[in-house]
Amino acid sequence: MKTIKDLPEHSRPREKLRERGASALTDEELVAAILGMGTAGIDVRTMARQVAGLIREHKTGLTLDHLLAVPGVGLAKAGQILSAFELARRHLLKDTVKITIAQDVLPLVADIAGKQQEYFVCISLNGANEVIEKRVVTIGLLDKSPVHPREVFADVIADRAAAVIFAHNHPSGELKPSDADLKIHEQLTQAANILGIRVLDQIIVTRQGHYSFQEAGLIGK
């Protein structure tokens, strides 16, 4: 198989990209353009062909371990591929929800605002504050929903989340946090700090409105 250097200059991935645009490149050529060069004894085209195959096979499930299994692909080259994917996902794909302020969270928890039992919800987010997953952690009675950090963070860790937002409803309609709410917030924040996960907000929702710990200046205290 010819190496990149054996190809005519106009057929080399980066030169082809410059002349015709990225859309003119095959999957293998796009990967080769990202990797740039091969390693001793392994041409970049050989690596690109295998990496492109992994991308087609695993799609969004592609992991660092998948890439490191390709001969010649080390941490630096695998990082280039995964970083390119993450940038594209963050800035080009439109199906993500990014959280900037408390109001961004409200549509995600509107379903629990009028519940007759207290629902405690955990929303995990990535490093760009985009929602990975929303989960109901516990369902309690009237205004009690016992929450344990172990139950809250088990799935958050599996998500490899960088941050979390907690939310729960008050069936009574009272928006002000109770003493129990403040105690739970303190416990969860302490656990998050140990795990290296940021707590962006804790939100109470009712039919009448919402209460944001962030807006109230309680986050970080």
Residue 96 contacts residue 131 (beta carbons within 8 Å)? yes
110/207 same-domain check: yes
Report which listed range, 52-66, 94-108, 129-143, 196-210, is most confident. 196-210
pLDDT digits (tens, 9 = 90+) for 177-219: 999 999 999 999 999 999 999 999 999 999 999 999 999 999 8
In a domain, 97, yes or no: no
109/202 same-domain check: yes
17/116 same-domain check: no
Domain that holds residue 77: 4-91
Q: Which amino acid is at 42?
A: I
Q: How far apart are CA 157 and CA 47, in angstroms?
A: 32
110/46 same-domain check: no
Q: How far apart are CA 104 and CA 86, in angstroms?
A: 22
**Joined tokens for residue 72:** 């010649």
**Residue 99 pLDDT > 80:** yes
48/127 same-domain check: no
87/106 same-domain check: no
17/66 same-domain check: yes
Residue 207 contacts residue 173 (beta carbons within 8 Å)? yes
In a domain, 217, yes or no: no
Of 64, 91, 118, which residue sits at a domain end? 91
In a domain, 45, yes or no: yes
**Average pLDDT rounded to a whole number, residues 76-101:** 84
25/74 same-domain check: yes
52/109 same-domain check: no
Query: In the structure, what pLDDT confidence band is assigned to residue 141 with cuts at 50, 70 and 90?
Result: low
In a domain, 81, yes or no: yes
In a domain, 218, yes or no: no
46/108 same-domain check: no
106/161 same-domain check: yes
81/139 same-domain check: no
* Share above pLDDT 70 across residues of the chain, in percent, rounded to a whole number: 90
- CB crowding 104-134: b at 16 or more within 10 Å, else e: ebbebbeebbeeeebbbbbbbbbeebbbbeb
List the CATH number of the domain containing 165. Answer: 3.40.140.10
Q: Into how many domains does the chain fold? A: 2
Query: In the structure, what pLDDT confidence band is assigned to residue 23 with cuts at 50, 70 and 90?
Result: confident
In a domain, 96, yes or no: no
In a domain, 221, yes or no: no
